[in-house]
Amino acid sequence: MNIFDETLTSLHEGLVSKKFTSVELTEEAFKRIAEIDPKVSAFLALNKEEALNQAAAADERGYETGSILNGIPIGIKDNIVTKGLTTTAASKMLEDFNPIYDATVVEKLEAAGAINVGKLNMDEFAMGGSTENSYFKTTKNPWDTTKVPGGSSGGSAAAVASGQVLATLGTDTGGSIRQPAAFTGLTGMKPTYGRVSRYGLIAFASSLDQIGPFTRNVMDNALMLEAISGYDPKDSTSANVEVPKFSANLTGNISGMKIALPKEYFQEGVSDEIKTAVEKAAAQFKEMGATVEEVSLPTLSYGIPAYYIIASSEASSNLQRFDGIRYGYRAENIVTLEDLYVKSRSEGFGMEVKRRIMLGTFSLSAGFYDAYFKKAGQIRTLIKEDFARIFADYDLILGPTTTTTAYNLGEKSDNPLEMYMADLLTVTINLAGVPAISLPGGFSSEGLPIGIQLIGDYFEEEKIYQAAYAFEQKNDYSTKHPNL
Amino acid sequence: MAISEEEVRHVANLAKLKFEDNEIHHFTEQMSDIIDMVEQLEKINTTGVAVTTHGYSLKNVMREDIAEPGTDREELFKNVKTAEDGMIEVPAILENEGEDA
């Protein structure tokens, strides 16, 4: 089997028609991981024994047409807790942390019969855009292993792009699904805030974090999202709204759809090749019967400062729980309790995590709160209003996902500010809470993938998938893959 | 310099973090650059604008006050480094009276 020719649906059909079993699929996935992963370093931990047991159980249950994920191997980002399977968030702080429960998304995937083959590398506590901030290893871009895979969900992206599994879960706080999807030529969805339960997601910035899928195509992405979505009483910020069957109505018909193209997305700093790819996509959407009109999103440039204040403030509060006492890293040779807190945290967290905690603590501290945290919260309102104004007249917003294609490993790792500025095109979406997808939109002259972004109004993932599917049908970008 | 080394030490103290003397200079420079960047927001007029703290507008979520089984005590201790008689062991907190407690 050539995994790059398969989809979740084709694997499902193979299982139903007894062409192969889930045990065979899962063994093959581990074989691919053994061959390919040494080149890209996507996985932090494998779940081999348990996965093969689950696969055997799926084979035992048998396959019914329609329950598509049943028996199919997938991977999970390592900030999503898995009962009995070490979950580190790529931090020394949680190097030996063994969760006693499953995240709701893990329970849902298990209920759907999906087989979790292992945990995927990331920037420590999801803070970063290159996966170089992992305490354990540096993941590489399968298209060019001298380049970053993006981040923070770099392992989730590299595992799919290199053909180890067809689908993984990532998380997106400021672009951490969409940017690695763009850098590795995948489809990655950041759902509406509240669409997917965050119960069991190790919190970074609670008002921004969302879990979402990475896949090689739109249909697979829709199938994954419908499996993990829905209200969860264990997450009071999950939304009690109906979950449409995203995969059911993908027709490719977008006639009459109104698409907005913000002129700010074409500003200086966005590479010409990426601008051209977006313009080409806009022309294709027009040909397919959609209206594409230029609009203005003037708050775009406020996104990065507001995001870094809000996300870091929430992180500084969320990460207070790592105190060396109930779980996680504990420093040795401690005399006082204060010592225990300070040494455990200073030795257990990496530099980028410390930077964010410091910026957040500063923004929330006496004398600075109004000028930083409160101000950023007001800017967030302006950003939301900007999106609301566009969505009053348009179905979707089209733009680039990233300002450049994947950059060199090490290029920005000691320049945090430059790393932050690269999030220009993704962070405002998290601040507003609306859904957005990145999908393959072409290749640079260097042969690196380019991502285009489609943004929808709250809970309108269906429209996003419809337009993404139509675009995918017109192009062959999703069929391309790296040769490792 | 938007923030001084002294301020960085103060914030580190609030955050229960400690930086080595040889790290603090470089770290202060990086923090200053980041703070200069976020200070761009000062220029934007936000008079009368409400503060948004959530990604999606939700009202308070209530449920019936019905007891449900909690988590098993032994399981909760699974990731504790040292425990004694069902309690988590920590360093003495009264040795430096008034200073740390």
Residue A468: CB atoms within 10 Å: 28
Quick one: pLDDT band at residue B54, thresholds 50, 70, 90?
confident
Alpha-carbon distance A121 to A40, whole Å? 10
Residue A231's Cβ-count burial label (10 Å; 0-12, 13-18, 19+) is middle
Alpha-carbon distance A169 to A452, whole Å? 20
Any bridge partners for residue A196, and if so which? A229
Q: What is the residue type of A175?
A: G
φ, ψ for residue A314, nearest 5 deg: -65, -40
Is the C-alpha dihedral spanning A264, A267, A269, A271 positive or negative? positive
Query: Nearest-CA neighbor of A452 among A179, A154, A95, A166?
Result: A179
- Cβ of A336 within 8 Å of Cβ of B53? The answer is no
Residue A473's Cβ-count burial label (10 Å; 0-12, 13-18, 19+) is middle
Q: Where are the beta strands (DSSP E) in A340-482?
A: 396-400, 436-443, 449-456
Mean pLDDT rounded to a whole number for chain B? 87
Q: What is the residue type of A389?
A: R
pLDDT of residue B56: 76
Query: Nearest-CA neighbor of A478 among A427, A434, A438?
Result: A438
Q: How far is CA A422 from CA A127, A271, A385, in A?
A: 13, 12, 23
- Cβ of B38 within 8 Å of Cβ of A361? The answer is no
Task: Point out the residue among B34, B58, B71 whose CB comes nearest to the CB of A416.
Answer: B34
Q: B58 pLDDT exceeds 80?
A: no
Give the DSSP letter string of A105-140.
HHHHHHHTT-EEEEEE--SGGG--SSSTT-SS----
ipTM of the assembly?
Answer: 0.91
Which tokens go with A155? 């392992």
For the segment B19-29, what is each residue's pLDDT rounded down to a tens digit?
Answer: 998 889 988 99
Separation in Å, CA of B58 to nearest CA in chain A: 7
pLDDT of residue B95: 60
CB-CB neighbors (< 8 A) of B44 in chain A: 302, 379, 382
pLDDT of residue B91: 81
Residue in A41, A77, A162, A313 annotated catalytic: A77
Q: How far is CA A292 from CA A156, A186, A277, A426, in A?
A: 33, 24, 15, 21
Alpha-carbon distance A337 to A325, whole Å? 10
Please state whether B55 falls in left (phi above 0), alpha (psi between -120 and 50) or beta.
alpha
- Cβ of A362 within 8 Å of Cβ of B11? The answer is yes
Q: B100 pLDDT exceeds 50?
A: no
- Cβ of A192 within 8 Å of Cβ of B56? The answer is yes
Chosen from B41, B45, B76, B89 to mutate, greatest number of chain A CBs within 10 A: B41
A23 touching chain B per CB within 8 A: no
Task: Point out the residue among A309, A365, A380 whose CB comes nearest to the CB of B52.
Answer: A380
- Cβ of A337 within 8 Å of Cβ of B34? The answer is no
SS3 A441: strand
For the segment A349-374, what is each residue's pLDDT rounded down to a tens digit?
Answer: 999 999 999 999 999 998 899 999 99
The answer to whether the pTM exceeds 0.90 is: yes
Is the C-alpha dihedral spanning A183, A213, A419, B18 positive or negative? negative
B40 touching chain A per CB within 8 A: yes
Any bridge partners for residue A396, and if so which? A259, A456
Q: What is the residue type of B20?
A: E
Q: What is the pLDDT along chain A (484 residues), one digit of tens a residue?
A: 899 999 999 999 999 999 999 999 999 999 999 999 999 999 999 999 999 999 999 999 999 998 999 999 999 999 999 999 999 999 999 999 999 999 999 999 999 999 999 999 999 999 999 999 999 999 999 999 999 999 999 999 999 999 999 999 999 999 999 999 999 999 999 999 999 999 999 999 999 999 999 999 999 999 999 999 999 999 999 999 999 999 998 999 999 999 999 999 999 899 999 999 999 999 999 999 999 999 999 999 999 999 999 999 999 999 999 999 999 999 999 988 999 999 999 999 999 999 999 999 999 998 899 999 999 999 999 999 999 999 999 999 999 999 999 999 999 988 899 999 999 999 999 999 999 999 999 999 999 999 999 999 999 999 999 999 999 999 999 999 999 8
Query: Nearest-CA neighbor of A136 among A74, A49, A78?
Result: A78
Alpha-carbon distance A53 to A48, whole Å? 9
Query: Nearest-CA neighbor of A149 among A199, A197, A97, A214?
Result: A214
Alpha-carbon distance A211 to A421, whole Å? 23
SS3 B22: helix
SS3 A420: helix
